[in-house]
Amino acid sequence: MTKMYKQMAETRLEHSPTLNTVLMVEDTLKNMDESVITIAELKKRLPKQVNHNTLKVILEYLEESNKIAVSLKGITWIHNSNKNMRKAVSEGLLI
């Protein structure tokens, strides 16, 4: 193992979020009143303080799993768990 790889692995372990932390961030984003929120505002609204690098790992995960969209203006919750809505979108409308 190279020295650089070891450092990267150690850095990742330092900022590996727990499931409770991921769920806390998810819940905060899912239940926000606004459609877009900045990372700074998200940090203020979280019930517990989260390390910035840990929060970045969580946001990367949520974006890769198509639960949030990240833009220059901020973060938006896009995941829809409504089965009827997903079915309507996938089948389209018949006129």
Q: Residue 35: which of 1, 63, 74 has the closest Cα?
A: 74
For the stretch 1-16, pLDDT in tens is 555 555 555 555 567 8
Which positions ≥6 away from 47 have C-beta within 8 Å?
Answer: 24, 28
Grade residue 27 by pLDDT with cuts at 50, 70 and 90: very high
Q: Which domain holds residue 70?
A: 3-91
pTM reported for the whole predicted model: 0.73
Q: 75: which DSSP letter?
A: E
Grade residue 65 by pLDDT with cuts at 50, 70 and 90: very high
For the stretch 45-62, pLDDT in tens is 999 999 999 999 999 999
Phi, psi angle pair for 79, to nearest 5°: -70, 135
Separation CA 76–CA 39 (nearest Å): 11
CATH code (residue 10): 1.10.10
Looking at the structure of the chain, the number of domains it has is 1
